Structure 1
Amino acid sequence: MSEINSLVAFHAFSSGALLLLGSLLLVGFDKVNIKASRWLGAFYLILACSFIQLFLEGFQIGNNFLIHLLELPRWTLLPCLYMAVTYYVSPFSAKKEWILHFVPFLLFLLFSLVYLIPSIFNEQTRLPVLPVWIIFVIRYFFYVQIVFYWLVCYALLRDHQRNVRMIASFTEKIDLEWLKYLLISVLFLILIRVLSIIEVAVTDYTAILYFLGTILLAYATLTQKTVYTIQTDQPPEKEETTAKKTVSERLTAEQVKELKCIVMRKTTDEKLYLDPGLTLLALSDKTGISTHELSYILNNGIGKSFYRYINELRTEEAKILLLSADTKHLDILGVAIRAGFTSKTTFYTTFKKVTNLTPKEYIKANSAID
Structure 2
Amino acid sequence: MADVNILAAFYAFSGGASWLLGSLSFLGVNRVNGRADQWLGAFYCLLACTFTRIFFEEFSIGGGFLLHLLELPTWAMLPCLYLAITHFVTPSTADKHWHLHFVPFLLFLLFSLVYLMPNLFNGQNHLPVLPPWMRFIVQYFFFGQMVYYWIVCFWLLRRHQKNLKMVASFTEKIDLEWLKYLLISVLLFILIRILGISSVHVTYISPILYFLGIILLAYSTLTQKSIYAVEIDPSAKKEGVSPKKALNERLTAEQVEELKSIVMRKTVDEKLYLDPSLTLSGLSGKIGISTHELSYVLNNGLGKNFYQFINELRTEEAKSLLLSKDTKHLDMLGVAIRAGFNSKTTFYTTFKKATNLTPKEYIKVNSVAG
What band does the TM-score fall into relative to the shorter chain? 0.5 to 0.7
* CA shift for structure 1 position 315: 11
TM-aligned CA distance change 1:66 to 1:274, over 3 Å = farther
1:312-359: per-residue Cα shift (whole Å, max 9, x none)? Answer: x96995997777644699xxxx99xx9x9x9xxxxxxxxxxxxxxxxx
Rounded Cα–Cα distance in structure 1 between residues aligned with 2:287 and 2:91: 19
Query: What TM-score, normalized to structure 2?
Result: 0.63
Verify: 1:275 aligned to 2:276, yes or no. Answer: yes
5 Å-filtered alignment, 1:153-164, equals 153-164=153-164
Partner of 1:178: 178
The answer to whether 1:96 aligns with 2:93 is no
| 1:78 counterpart letter in structure 2 | L
- Residues 55 and 92 (structure 1), Cα distance of their counterparts in 2 relative to 1, 3 Å cut: same
Q: Distance in 2 between matches of 1:8 and 1:141?
A: 25
CA contact (8 A) 1:72 1:109 kept: yes
Opposite residue 68 of structure 1, the aligned amino acid is H
- Once the two structures are superposed, residues 256-308 of structure 1 have per-residue CA deviations (whole angstroms, 9 ceiling, x without a partner) of xxxxxxxxxxxxx54478523x9xxxxxxxxxxxxxxxxxxxxxxxxxxxxxx
Aligned to 2:110: 110
Change (3 A) 1:66 1:127: closer
| Offset from partner CA, 1:99-143 (integer Å, 9 cap, x none) | 010000000000000011001123669999754322221121000
**Matching residue of 1:210:** 210
Task: For 1:146, give the aligned amino acid.
Answer: M
**Is the alpha carbon distance of 1:127 and 1:210 closer, same or farther for their aligned partners in structure 2, counting shifts above 3 Å?**
closer
The whole-number CA distance in structure 2 between the counterparts of 1:139 and 1:226 is 38
Match of 1:191 in 2: 191
CA 1:207–1:323: 2 relative to 1, 3 Å: closer
Alpha-carbon distance change, 32 to 314 in structure 1, aligned in 2, over 3 angstroms: farther
CA distance in 1, matches of 2:29, 2:107: 33
Q: Within 1, Cα distance between the matches of 2:143 and 2:76?
A: 12
Equivalent residue letter for 2:78: L
- Root mean square deviation, CA, Å: 3.5
Decide whether the 8 Å contact of 2:40 with 2:84 is kept in 1.
yes
Does the 8 A contact of 1:150 with 1:187 survive in 2?
A: yes
State the AA in 2 paired with 1:149. Answer: Y
Conservation of the 8 A alpha-carbon contact between 1:7 and 1:208: yes
125 and 37 in structure 1: CA distance in 2 versus 1, 3 angstrom threshold:
closer
What secondary structure does 1:60 align onto? coil
The separation in 1 between residues aligned to 2:220 and 2:162, in whole angstroms, is: 20
Q: Is the 8 A contact 1:39 1:84 kept in 2?
A: yes
Identity level (%): 56
Separation in 1, partners of 2:282, 2:27: 31
| TM-score, scaled relative to structure 1 | 0.63
Counterpart in the other structure of 1:167? 167
What secondary structure sits across from 1:120 in the alignment?
Answer: helix
Check conservation: 2:78, 2:146, Cα contact below 8 A. yes
Alpha-carbon separation, structure 2, partners of 1:69 and 1:319: 60
Query: 1:224 offset after TM fit, Å?
Result: 1.8
Letter in 2 for 1:48: A
Paired with 1:318 and 1:131, the residues of 2 have a C-alpha distance of: 67
Q: In 2, distance between residues paired with 1:130 and 1:178?
A: 42
Matched position secondary structure for 2:28: coil
The match for 1:50 is: 50
Distance 1:318 1:92 in 2: 24
Distance in 2 (alpha carbons) for counterparts of 1:177 and 1:90: 15
Match status 1:68 vs 2:57: no
The residue correspondences of 1:1-370 to structure 2 (distance < 5 A) are 1-122=1-122, 130-226=130-226, 270-271=271-272, 274-276=275-277, 317=285, 325-326=293-294
Q: 1:273 to 1:80 in 2, by over 3 A?
A: farther
Distance 2:285 2:32 in 1: 22
- Cα 1:273–1:108 change in 2 (3 A) is farther
**Structure 1 pair 327/53, CA: closer, same or farther in 2 (3 Å)?**
same
**Number of residues of Structure 1 aligned to a counterpart in Structure 2:** 261
- Alpha-carbon distance in 2 for matches of 1:211, 1:2: 19
Distance 2:102 2:21 in 1: 23
Distance (whole Å) between structure 2 residues aligned to residue 167 and residue 210 of structure 1: 38
CA distance in structure 1 between the partners assigned to 2:124 and 2:57 by the alignment: 23
Letter in 2 for 1:79: P
Are the structure 2 counterparts of residues 27 and 316 from structure 1 closer, same or farther at C-alpha, using a change threshold of 3 Å? Answer: farther
* 1:124/1:9 CA distance change after superposition, 3 Å: closer
Q: Could you say if the C-alpha distance between residues 169 and 2 of structure 1 is closer, same or farther in structure 2, counting changes exceeding 3 Å?
A: same
The CA distance in 1 between the partners of 2:11 and 2:134, in whole Å, is 31
Does the aligned pair in 2 maintain the 1:274–1:314 contact within 8 Å? Answer: no
> Is contact 1:12-1:51 (8 Å) kept?
yes
Indicate the residue corresponding to 1:286 in structure 2. none
